[in-house]
Amino acid sequence: MPRRSIWKGSFVDAFLLRMKKKRDLLLNRKILSRRSSILPEFG
C-alpha cells in the first residue's frame, strides 16, 4: 500500500473527527479508515 509523502503530512478525514467526538457512544468499537492515516490519538 503506498504511503503518503512525509512532506505532505498526515491526512485525517472529517469523518474520523466526527467519529472521535461520538466515541463516548461507541465505547469498545475500533475506528478503521482506508482513506486516511490513523493517528495514535484515535487508537
Q: Does 29 fall in a domain?
A: yes
Q: Does 3 fall in a domain?
A: no
Q: Does 4 fall in a domain?
A: no
More confident residue, 42 or 25: 25
Q: Does 32 fall in a domain?
A: yes
Contacts of residue 13, defined as CB under 8 A and 6 or more positions apart, other chains included, come to: 33, 35, 36
| pLDDT at residue 4, rounded to an integer | 64
Range of the domain at 14: 10-42
d(CA 43, CA 30): 8
Q: How confident is the model at residue 26 (pLDDT cuts 50, 70, 90)?
A: low
In percent, the amount of the chain with pLDDT more than 70 equals 28
Whether the CB-CB separation of 36 and 13 falls below 8 Å is answered with yes
Mean pLDDT of the chain, nearest integer: 67
Q: How confident is the model at residue 1 (pLDDT cuts 50, 70, 90)?
A: very low
Q: Does 33 fall in a domain?
A: yes
pTM beyond 0.75 = no
CA angle 35/40/43 to nearest 5° reads 80
Q: Does 27 fall in a domain?
A: yes
First to last CA, the chain: 20
Q: In total, how many domains does the chain have? A: 1
